[in-house]
Structures are given as structure tokens and as C-alpha cells.
Amino acid sequence: MSTQNNRNLETDFLGKTIFITGAGQGQGRAAAIGFAKHSANVVGFDLGQKISYPAYNRSSSKHLETLQQEIEAFGGHFIGITGDVRNYDHIQRAVSVGVEKFGTINILFNNAGISAYGYAHELTEEQWDTMIDINLKGAFLAAKAIIPILIQNKSGVIINNSSVAGLRGMNRLSHYAASKWGLIGLTKSWAIELAPYNIRSLSIHPTGVNTAMNDGLAELEGTTALKIAERSAGNLLATPWIETEDVVNALLFLASDKARYITGSQFVLDAGLLTV
């Protein structure tokens, strides 16, 4: 077991490199820390600046800087690159930097995403396009840049961060649900296309996760995340939401050889929400 800075690292992903979109905050940040603690090299890709929609977005380049400091403090390996998942040139540049730094990429976690409320007939085209372009097109572009590397390696894992909204309809979230359903189509299609190269493709479907996005959506509604969770009252287990560590635990399993024959599947972390 490798040690640095007097702290032990697990060795599950020693010699492996993961590319994470939306790495600056929330689930992406937690995934970066989790995989780094298991000896993976981490390439973190994040917008690093505010966008006009949704209004709660407070992305900053400082998020990647502090993430790098946190990971390096326990001896992990990380490089952060700012860019827009809607821009293929940005993604290609980040992938090139990651490969130059760590040699290759073995795992892709398509995590970058936004959410916002709005009735379908009241959404503007710009709001629809922004949701689809970040949540769905961004995943396609990241995979387009990385799949050739995985094919060359004759192995790899792609994990798309969908949602329970990718498995059901959602009131005032039709554009969000459409983007998350779309990720299932990508997941299953990639599983078919890439199986000959020993590349697996999966999607995860969390219920609400305790992140800044939860708080931001509540802020736009003039309430709190807890009140929204209580109002929806969908989880069977006694929790208003799951934690980022729950998502990371699932990712560490699905990306590992312990899940070597799992592909094309939807992994649900919903505290029972979809049961009824």
C-alpha cells in the first residue's frame, strides 16, 4: 500500500486515471476525492465560472484549486482544467492535458449537469437548449473524446450520472427529465458498441443528493432543501436525501473489476423512491 504525507491510500485504482466532468463541486468533487484516495489519478474538468441559467450556479475556478490542494494534502494525484462541456475543443484540450500528465485515461465519469424548475410550456428555447446541451450533449462530447483512448487500451468504464428523473416523469422538470432519460439511451448504446473492446457503460440514478445544487434549487423556490424533500416525500427510507459519499461508494464499485460483467445497466440509489 502506497503512502505519502504520512497517510495511507487504498490501491484499488493504482495506475488508473479517471476523467470527471463537473468536478468542482458536489458529486463530482466527492468522486474526485474518493477515487484519489483509492490511488487513481484524477483529471477534474469544470466550468469554473458563472452562467446565467440556472441562476443559482456559482461555479468558480477556485473550486478546482481548492480540490487540488485537498487531494494533494493526502498524497493523491490530481490536475484541474477549466472548460465548458458544450465545447468539444475545450474537452479535447483537457483530455490531451490529462493524457500528457498521467499517460492515459481509463474511466470517464460524466457528471456535469444542471437543474432548474419550469413548466414545459413556459420554458424558453434557450433554457431547454442549455439543459440538454450541458446534461446530455456534454456527456456525448466527453465520451467522443475519450472513447478512442479506451478502445486503444482495450478496456475502460464510462459512468453517466443520470437521476431518478431518468426513470420517471418529473413535475416542472421536463427538460431535466428529458436530458436524464437521454443518458440512458447513450449508456445502453455505448454498452453495445463498445463491448467488443471490453469497455463497460453504466448509468447511476440517485434520488436527491445533499449538494449545493439542492440548496440552489431551493433558493430559487424561496424555501429550503429540507422543505422540498419533505414536500415530495418520495423516499421510502427515512432520509430526505442521500449523501455524496453514497454516490462515491457506488462509483468505486461500478468502476472496479468487482463489477467487470456489469454493463448497459442502470444503478439506482433512490432510498426506495421508485418502488411505488
- Residues with catalytic annotation? 176
- Cα angle for residues 236, 237, 238 (degrees, 5° grid): 115
Q: Does residue 199 contact residue 156 with C-beta atoms inside 8 Å? A: yes
Q: Which residues, in sequence order, are CB contacts of 103 under 8 Å at separation 6+?
A: 17
How many CB atoms are located within 10 Å of the residue 47 CB?
Answer: 24
| Nearest-10 Cα torsion for 241, 243, 248, 249 | -80
Q: Does residue 79 contact residue 23 with C-beta atoms inside 8 Å? A: no
- The full DSSP string for 32-83 is HHHHHHTT-EEEEEE--S--SSSTT----HHHHHHHHHHHHHTT-EEEEEE-
| SS3 of residue 159 by DSSP | strand
Distance CA(89)–CA(98), nearest Å, equals 14
Distance CA(263)–CA(187), nearest Å, equals 9
